[in-house]
Amino acid sequence: MAIRIYNTLTRQKEEFKPLREGEVRMYVCGPTVYDYPHLGHARTYIAFDVIRRYLEHRGYTVLMVMNFTDIDDKIIKRANETGEDPKELAEKFLRIFLEDMKALKVKPADVYPRVTEHMEDIINFVKKLQEKGYAYEGSDGVYFEVRKFKDYGKLSKIKLEDLVKGARVEPGEGKRNPEDFALWKKAKPGEPKWKSPWGEGRPGWHIECSTMSSKYLGESFDIHGGGNDLIFPHHENEIAQSEACFGHEWVHYWMHTGFLMLNGEKMSKSLGNFVTVRELLKRYDPEVIRLFVLQRHYRSPLDYSEEGIEHAKNNLERLYNTLENIRVAMERAEIAFRWDEPEFRAYEAIRDARRKFYEAMDDDFNTAEALKAVFEVSNAINRYLTEVEKPKESILRKAWEFFRDVGEVFGLFEDYFKEQRAGNEEELINLLVEVRAQLRKERRFDLADRIREELRKLGIQLEDTPQGTVWKRIKV
């Protein structure tokens, strides 16, 4: 079955067909680095991380590009407030962003083009627009003449008349028309600046994405993504610049993530109602945050609440328990010389859930729906384990492999599957378990419980079952 993607451009789900066979080229708008990333950023980047992982899982080679806006009005403003050098400030928060994303297990992009590393390319792009008659130089900068681009508004469905009427567009001294936007801003005294044919200055915000995406992905590519708030004006302007310059369709699929909401309001720096990624990571495992995000469809607004995160934590705990149950059961599993009803039932449940998982992900990356399938396997395998004395190795393996695939796509259970059990740690634990078993036989429960308590503090949980005592690692 084919993957279907909701395209903001057409406002409907479309079958995904990459421009080049087997390859997906995608660009996701990165942050302006002037502050700590908050959960809203995390939401968007985790969403695109899972989209990227899924495409890779389905066999595509994905070329992923994410930009850094490392020079911009906001950065200059913040630097002036704190007395820092704008370059150093940007550098600092760029590093912090990368660290936070790594902590959240977001796979790094293949290229992270920075504006300050691409001045020449940007200037050339503006020149081309000027040559083609879409751009003009004003007293304070170079502007894109919006009314010359006939398709303006096709992404956001905004009509030019309404835009002008809305009067929210700023007239600006150097502009011919209020709706025009800056491609190049001439530097005011004391501002960071680069040389250009129009004097010293810096690029406008939108031109960088047009320039850098086409540099790495070509004059047309598959997916361009970002937060919902970028549809207008940022992405609308990118389309205008790029299609004016190249003379043909630029991006095939536009994808946008819903906002992260806090008490009914969009979480944002300007509103000041944000929770930073670092803050959250101090209290929760990164996978809890990922699961929290994945429990909601990527296009829907996601409400942040402490309870919501706790829900995610409980859910993740359940999945880890299931993994541990399987692992422990593996030790007493046997080769199947025959199947009985429990085997047939477990097998069918896993088979059906796997199909559901892929169907849900194919349908515009419906992670919330896909998660249902994950819980179905969890339930089926736990039930199987209570039904049989000697579990069949093949059944456990089926479940195990399903979880491994889910983990690969969702960025969960990562450590679990790659974990090398260190040295003779296991033997030591087994020894303690044996000693405790003897103590229990002698009904010396105080000592037995002490061993259990102390191991628990070390992240090892002992569980007494009818088949004897097993030990599990506790993750969250």
Partner RNA sequence: GCCGGGAUAGCCUAGAGGCGAGGCGAGGGACUGCAGAUCCCUUUCACCCGGGUUCAAAUCCCGGUCCCGGCUCCA
Residue window 103-132: x/- pattern of binding to RNA, with contact defined by CB under 7 A? ------------------------------
Of 225-254, which residues contact RNA (CB under 7 A)?
226-234
Give me the 373-402 binding string for RNA, x by CB under 7 A, dash otherwise. --xx-xx--xx-xx----------------
Q: Which of 384, 317, 376, 389 lies closest to 344, judged by CA?
A: 384
Cβ-based nearer residue to RNA, 31 or 86: 31
* CA–CA dist 123, 118 (Å, integer): 9
Nearer to RNA by C-beta: 220 or 321? Answer: 321
136 forms beta bridges with: 143
Binding positions for RNA, 195-224, rule CB under 7 A: 205
Task: Please write down the long-range contacts of 435-439, taking CB distance under 8 Å and 24 or more positions apart.
Answer: 436/462, 436/469, 437/468, 437/469
Smallest separation, CB 131 to RNA (Å): 25
CA dist 152 and 86 (Å) reads 33
Between residues 57 and 299, which has the closer beta carbon with respect to RNA?
A: 299
Q: Nearest distance from residue 383's CB to RNA, in Å?
A: 4
Per CB under 7 A, 56 contacts RNA = no
Complex with RNA: residue 235 or 252, whichever CB lies closer: 235
Which one among 3, 9, 16, 32 touches RNA, defined by CB under 7 A?
32
**CA distances (Å), origin 179, targets 82, 166, 167, 389:** 33, 10, 9, 73
**Contact (CB, 8 A) for 93 and 102:** no
Residue among 336 and 368 whose Cβ is closer to RNA: 368
Instruction: Pick between residue 229 and residue 414 the one whose CB is nearest to RNA.
Output: 229
CB 466 within 8 A of CB 277: no
What is d(CA 29, CA 451) in angstroms, rounded to the nearest whole number?
Answer: 52
- Indicate the residue among 180 and 243 with the shorter CB distance to RNA: 180
Query: How many whole angstroms from its chain centre is CA 320?
Result: 21
- Find the binder of RNA among 265, 334, 415, 454 (CB under 7 A): 265
Tracing tokens 């304070």 back to the chain, one arrives at 140
Task: For residue 32, list its beta bridge partners.
Answer: 69
Instruction: Mark 327-366 with x for binding to RNA (rule: CB under 7 A) and - for no binding.
Output: ---------------------------------x--x--x
Residue 313 DSSP SS3: helix
Identify which range of 86-94, 153-161, 216-224, 246-254 contacts RNA by CB under 7 A. 153-161
Site for RNA in 159-198 (CB under 7 A): 159, 162-163, 166, 168-170
192: part of which helix (H) or strand (E)?
A: none
Residues 445-464 within binding reach of RNA (CB under 7 A): 445, 448-449, 452, 461-464
Span 405-444, contacts to RNA by CB under 7 A: 440
Token readout for 435 is 């000693």
Q: Find the farthest-apart pair of alpha carbons in the chain and give their distance in angstroms, rounded.
A: 92
**CB-based contact 374:17 (threshold 8 Å):** no
Map the footprint of RNA across residues 282-311, applying CB under 7 A. Answer: 295-297, 300-303, 307-308, 311
